[in-house]
Amino acid sequence: MRIRNEPPSSELTPEPRYHDRRRFLNSLGAAALTAFAAPWVRADAPRVPPTAKAYGLQKDDRMTPWEDVTTYNNFYEFGTEKSDPADYSATLQPKPWTVRVEGLVEKPANYQLEDFLKPHTLEDRIYRHRCVEAWSMVVPWRGVPLASVLKRAAPTGGAKYVEFTTLNDPKQMRGVSDPVLEWPYVEGLRLDEAMHPLALLVTGVYGQDLPNQNGAPLRLVVPWKYGFKGCKSIVRIRLTNQQPKTAWNIAGPTEYGFYANVNPAVDHPRWSQAKERRIGEFLKRPTLPFNGYADEVASLYAGLDLAKNY
């Protein structure tokens, strides 16, 4: 595995993006989000579903435009630049799609995506997202609670963690030929985190099926954690009694911890986490503990040192 001495360009927030006059004028002129349901998007973009429920949003939060949600992404399987996923992910074939659920469960099985989701009701949720590079978005996702899928598999008493493995196919994903990370991309949660009502297996955004660059056809969203927890194009979910070895923790253990909870009091070694810049806005805003979801999730970490368990 090769670790670069300098940070990848994708981990640096490009200042020109935020000084762009058109985006700046748009951000100044955008109307306030009404009851968190009025999207700040282009006229031809999909609309926020009227059934969408907002969680953890602040009164001045606005929807991140469809154009940014679908063109400014981290998806290293297609390259390390923010524009690479949109530029190169057309090679991904999201249908048909099989997800293997296995490990410490009573009902291991292979599911086609349609069967995997069939018993569950799709929900539209608006979530804040915070990336370690000090940028953030507000995104309307569509998906099913992760807990409902795990309950279907019936975890055994020994299950303590949930491991997620993503697609690793050089024919479809040009980036996996670059050892910038250890492939396949693996992420993990404690079982109680995975069972929390906010954890979502996502199948769509802005009321549409997930575009390839956003992790089609199935990705994880855990809104109180940094964005690298949101693994994309999931092909396996495994319950285990051992803490999974996750991709970014393997690549940079002093920078990317297993928990990845948003904690503005703990700086990343190469930048401050105290403030963030919302995509489409000029000024930075204070970063909120647990990304604004502390009321819902802080109890999961009672007694845990969040500076050591980053």
Kind and range of the H or E element at 278? Answer: strand 275-278
More confident residue, 118 or 193: 193
Which structure tokens are listed for 239?
């319950």
Confidence of residue 41 (pLDDT cuts 50, 70, 90): low
Answer yes or no: is 180 within a domain: yes
- Asked whether the predicted pLDDT for residue 19 surpasses 50, the reply is no
Whole-Å CA distances, 275 to 65, 155, 259: 21, 39, 20
User: Residue 42: its pLDDT value, please?
Assistant: 62
Q: 45-99, pLDDT tens digit by residue?
A: 799 999 999 998 988 899 999 999 999 999 999 999 999 999 999 999 999 999 9
What domain range includes position 231? Answer: 9-301
Kind and range of the H or E element at 286? Answer: strand 285-286
234 CB-contact burial (10 Å; exposed 0-12 / middle 13-18 / buried 19+): buried
Answer yes or no: is 1 within a domain: no
Answer yes or no: is 2 within a domain: no
- Asked whether the predicted pLDDT for residue 15 surpasses 90, the reply is no
First CA to last CA distance, the chain: 23
Answer yes or no: is 107 within a domain: yes
More confident residue, 236 or 31: 236
- Nearest Cα residue to 216 out of 231, 199, 200: 231
Q: 193-208, pLDDT tens digit by residue?
A: 999 999 999 999 999 9
- Asked whether the predicted pLDDT for residue 291 surpasses 80, the reply is yes
Query: CATH no. for residue 77?
Result: 3.90.420.10
Mean of pLDDT values over 203-225? 97
Answer yes or no: is 89 within a domain: yes
- Asked whether the predicted pLDDT for residue 230 surpasses 90, the reply is yes
User: Residue 239: its pLDDT value, please?
Assistant: 98
User: Residue 255: its pLDDT value, please?
Assistant: 93
- Nearest Cα residue to 139 out of 50, 52, 212, 259: 52
Count of domains observed in the chain: 1
Q: Return the CA Rg of the chain.
A: 18
Answer yes or no: is 77 within a domain: yes
Other Cβ atoms closer than 10 A to 89: 26
Confidence of residue 40 (pLDDT cuts 50, 70, 90): low
- The mean of the pLDDT values for the chain is 88
Confidence of residue 116 (pLDDT cuts 50, 70, 90): confident
DSSP codes of every residue in 63-104: PPPHHHHTTS---GGG-SSTTHHHHHGGG---SS-EEEEEES
Other Cβ atoms closer than 10 A to 176: 21
